Structure 1
Amino acid sequence: MSSIDTITPEPDDAAPVYDRLRTDIIAGVYPPGSALRFAEMQKRYGLGVSRLREALAQLAADRLVIREVNRGFRAPEISLANFDDIAAMRLRLEPEAFRVSVENGDDAWEERIVIAAHRLDRAARRYATDTVSEVQDDWERCHRAFHEALIDACGSPMTLHFCGVLYDHFDRYRRLIGFDEPAQQRLAAQHRLLADCAVERNVAEAEAVLAAHVNQTITVVRPRLETLLG
């Protein structure tokens, strides 16, 4: 996992601390169950306690951090039951949102899919030969942007919000477990299939294609998580 002290503090008008904290939680900078200490976070982000507390409260609302009365904040624990719950809810919401987007998306949506797919494919090719943190971070950003684009024509802001939260929780487990090269290659092939499904307006298969994609990740993550937890 990444070191908590690796980022140089930035001025108070830097990128929103909420986004930076969320990214670090998902990336595993703070191990599951660990205390989120203000002294360490002030050093890492270069921000005051009030701004950090506000961002942590927002993250707590989506359970990306846990708030304990009189004890502060901590990173969420991990468990098979929690992963299964997250995976089941993601399978319930995201494939349907994709189907609706394929059915209702306009030309601008289709263009966003093409652009996001191209960026993800380019990042994946770089990631295949260079696994330094900057390249991996670029792939992660492109991966999230691609999944957001797939469903952003579903017409439901609440669905988009909850899909985003579920994606973050699901991704935290995926990044904790890690993927080997064959799994990454399968993911890349599925991403191309999803983009084709969107561009070809394949409403009949859209839901099943995205569900298969999520299920493929589940089949990789869950056994490794079970081993990790003993």
Structure 2
Amino acid sequence: MTGDGTASSSRTGEVFRLIRRDILSGALAGGERLRSTMLRARYGAGLTPVREALARLAGSGLVTGQEQHGFRVVPTSEEDLRDITRVSVLTESDAIVRAVERADGATDAALLRAFEALAGTPMRSEADTGGGVHDAWSEAHRRFHESLIAPCGSSWLLQLNALLFDHAERYRQLAFRVAPDRDLVDEHRRLLDAVLGRDPARAAALVDAHWSATAEAVLASGALRSGGDGSTPPLRKGAFGSGAPS
């Protein structure tokens, strides 16, 4: 590949990461029109990198549309949140059970390091009054969940979980805003302890509780409602899977 081609590919990758970050954080809202002129100004990029980045994002399911008809951020909805949560509980619960059965000293050490990194990373800055979450915390959170299931022995489960984790991030960011007092360090410590204690049933139930708490916070807030009478029935703990331990 020529030097110009390498530079173009690198710039496309950078624009892809920036747009993806802003979609997942909610800075680019669900349903928002992604005009190339706006994106070029926002990211200081040329037309080709923007077009190629949008095509990649469409392939990953975060953006919908075609170049000729325009692109939009895939909308968020209560139905989508419920669906993502149910499938995520199924796949991550299965993966964590398999991971516990295959875990060893090396994977335990990696998981403990991931937890320590997560617990030691500030979730927000004191100056942030909008409830935003640090990129560094989001990345540490991702790495912890990856480490939880890393020994599962299934590349397909790992890929599916990574895809679902991405698509859930927009709802996760919203949940952190509407439920800022949730004790996430304790939730993750319990998951850590269940894996280190080789308790697959408890680990799976905690995965259910963890995902369900996020969905419940968002649904209870009414932030995704549109039309109707505005009511959302309350969800019991473990509403999306096998139920949480006491």
Q: TM-score range by the shorter chain?
A: 0.7 to 0.9
- CA deviation profile, 1:9-31 (whole Å, cap 9, x unmatched): xx964663332221111101112
Q: Is the 8 A contact 2:63 2:73 kept in 1?
A: yes
2:27 to 23, 26, 29: 29
Secondary structure of the residue aligned to 1:193 is: helix
Deviation at 1:80, TM superposition (A): 1.3
Rounded to whole Å, the distance in 2 between the matches of 1:176 and 1:52 is 27
Rounded to whole Å, the distance in 1 between the matches of 2:135 and 2:82 is 26
Which residue of structure 1 lines up, in the alignment, with residue 136 of structure 2?
Answer: 138
What are the residue-to-residue correspondences of 1:73-84 with 2, within 5 Å? Answer: 73-84=71-82
2:204 to 207, 214, 217: 207
- CA deviation profile, 1:143-188 (whole Å, cap 9, x unmatched): 11111111122222222122112112212012135243322x2x22
What are the residue-to-residue correspondences of 1:114-153 with 2, within 5 Å? Answer: 114-123=112-121, 126-127=122-123, 130=126, 132=128, 136-153=134-151
Percent identity, aligned pairs only, is 32
What are the residue-to-residue correspondences of 1:119-198 with 2, within 5 Å? Answer: 119-123=117-121, 126-127=122-123, 130=126, 132=128, 136-177=134-175, 178-183=177-182, 185=183, 187-198=184-195
TM-score (norm 1): 0.83
Secondary structure of the residue aligned to 1:78 is: coil
Rounded to whole Å, the distance in 2 between the matches of 1:134 and 1:90 is 24
Secondary structure of the residue aligned to 1:152 is: helix
Rounded to whole Å, the distance in 2 between the matches of 1:202 and 1:114 is 16
Deviation at 1:105, TM superposition (A): 2.5
Rounded to whole Å, the distance in 2 between the matches of 1:53 and 1:69 is 7
Which residue of structure 2 lines up, in the alignment, with residue 104 of structure 1?
Answer: 102
Secondary structure of the residue aligned to 2:123 is: helix
Q: Is the 8 A contact 1:66 1:76 kept in 2?
A: yes
Secondary structure of the residue aligned to 1:66 is: strand
Q: Gaps (5+ residues) in structure 2? A: 1-6, 231-246
What are the residue-to-residue correspondences of 1:36-51 with 2, within 5 Å? Answer: 36-51=34-49
Rounded to whole Å, the distance in 1 between the matches of 2:133 and 2:220 is 27
Number of aligned pairs?
216
Which residue of structure 2 lines up, in the alignment, with residue 7 of structure 1?
Answer: none
Any runs of at least 4 consecutive aligned residues in structure 1 with deviations exceeding 6 A, and if so which? Answer: none
Deviation at 1:220, TM superposition (A): 1.0
Q: Is the 8 A contact 2:124 2:134 kept in 1?
A: no
Closer, same or farther: CA 16–153 of 1 in aligned 2, 3 Å: farther
- CA deviation profile, 1:111-169 (whole Å, cap 9, x unmatched): 1210110011112xx33772548972222121111111111222222221221121122
Task: Give the number of the structure whose alpha-carbon radius of gyration is greater.
Answer: 2
Let me know the Cα RMSD of the aligned residues: 2.4
Deviation at 1:225, TM superposition (A): 3.8
Which residue of structure 2 lines up, in the alignment, with residue 223 of structure 1?
Answer: 220
Q: Gaps (5+ residues) in structure 1? A: 1-10
Structure richer in helix, relative to its length = 1
